[in-house]
Structure 1
């Protein structure tokens, strides 16, 4: 969320999923479509974890939350770049919405000359998103692929991940940049859904979300 926007407009920033449904935050949120964006799918899964499953008829649970968010003038776009750089007020462009679906590790990217971040994450709405790399079965050069994985896991590469990719390194022994320590704390209690449940239900979730939010 864009801290400067809230300060300039004399409004207390939202903190929770429920806050985003309040009338005073109408028209402030932009998210990405879970059918076209991995952060969008992560947010959908977070709401499943937070509000529970829906009925077979498509009522209750997480879908009711999304219906309410839609009715509070939610904006949905296809990809993260458009959401962050076009529609988000804190993305450096002409956006007007102060709440954007992004990563909790984004705020260090907005640290200004004064040493303060212009944005902050809503840590009570987070879902842990993990990026993987591996060697495919039947790869033409498995030895080279394994060497590349070893390189990705090396200390120099892992130490460079935060400021190059704006994600946390998998190696917890790596010393984080001070801006990350100050402005990118990990969510202490992220929402979660079992991986096998996501794999089994993802397509149906997206279909139901699309029918409800993009109607």
Structure 2
């Protein structure tokens, strides 16, 4: 009787220890690599984890170029299962390096405003362009430039700040727009004239927008930024305003369209492959497509998702843009950046 009682006690103890372990088994970890601008509401990410039964491990790898570099360097032993933020300037390099695997789930068939590349699902898009400080121009009584050529004239001397294409994604995008819109030789001739006319070069977007732009206390009333920036000015304004203090200049050779997507990482954890596909579907879901407009300030790729009010009213899209062919961007980007450095900085 004592032995039977002991056996029952041991059996009950085993069940008591085994059941909690089974009930609280650690969920599969889904490793998501992104660029540093990735930003979605915490509640959306938490809901995804709950629905997919996974634990998200979001790794922000710097700008998009750094992100792709890390995936290439670790391709023998991938550090991510899915990647968000590969754009049209970097996709040819990613494909050539063999770091992404085509995804053919429902999201890849959904109607999109933009396209990116086979097997990569477009998530959002935006435009790098010139922004102006409306109050500065009104006070100065100076007409807005109507072409890039205008900016080389004495009246616009020392008014523009750009980002260095060697250290900044929008800086590189703007350089590529000038080349596609003006032609390579005419573009570098324009840059040489801009150097003579006092163009200022900042390391990155933050320095250009928040230090040099006159809207934020600087001396330059024209800055390379994004078509959505005027909407962000309204959204983040401490006072309720109905009109943005900034505006876009959509000039020939001064508008670049960036398209960002999400893709499977080749060689990712097989146990997380289903969850990786669910994450791709999640990024094209209506809640995410709506939210990213006022967190990452991009336009939704899904054709069925409308622009939110602040984007509708203050982030008009250009009717045209100037992008080199993706393969040409990939093959020439380094040489163009080196030539830009010699032309503008040295």
TM-score, with structure 1 as normaliser:
0.92
Alignment partner, residue 73 of structure 1: 198
Pick one of 245, 252, 260 that aligns with 1:118. Answer: 245
1:118-157 equivalences under 5 Å are 118-124=245-251, 125-140=254-269, 141-157=272-288
Q: Displacement of 1:148 after TM fit?
A: 1.3
* 2:299 alignment partner, SS class: coil
Aligned pairs for 1:94-113 (under 5 A) are 94-111=217-234, 113=240
The separation in 1 between residues aligned to 2:181 and 2:299, in whole angstroms, is 24
Q: Is the 8 A contact 1:5 1:89 kept in 2?
A: yes
Q: Distance in 2 between matches of 1:69 and 1:172?
A: 39
In the TM superposition, what is the alpha-carbon distance from 1:192 to its structure 2 partner?
Answer: 2.0
4+ long deviations beyond 6 Å: none
Q: In the comparison of the two structures, how many residue pairs are matched?
A: 207
Q: Which has the larger radius of gyration?
A: 2
1:52 counterpart = 2:179: no
Could you say what the CA RMSD is over the residues aligned between the two structures, in angstroms? 1.3
Alignment partners' CA distance in 2, 1:181 and 1:22: 34
Unaligned runs of 5+ in 2: 1-131
Aligned equivalent of 1:28: 159
Q: Counterpart of 2:334 in 1: which secondary structure?
A: helix
1:43 Cα shift?
Answer: 0.6
- Distance in 2 of aligned mates of 1:143 and 1:4: 52
Range moving further from structure 2, 171-180 or 3-12: 171-180
SS of aligned partner of 2:225: coil
Q: Give the equivalent residue in structure 2 for 1:11.
A: 142
Q: Which residue of 2 aligns with 1:184?
A: 315
- Larger % of strand: which? 2
Distance 1:114 1:201 in 2: 43
The correspondence for 1:64, drawn from 189, 193, 196, is: 189
* Deviations, residues 139-192 of structure 1 (Å, cap 9, x unaligned): 123222222111111000001111111111111321212222222111111112
Distance in structure 1 (CA, Å) of the matches to 2:303 and 2:157: 39
Taking structure 2 as the reference length, what is the TM-score of the superposition? 0.58
State the shift of 1:65 in Å. Answer: 0.8
Shift of 1:63: 0.8
Residue 17 (structure 1) shift: 1.4
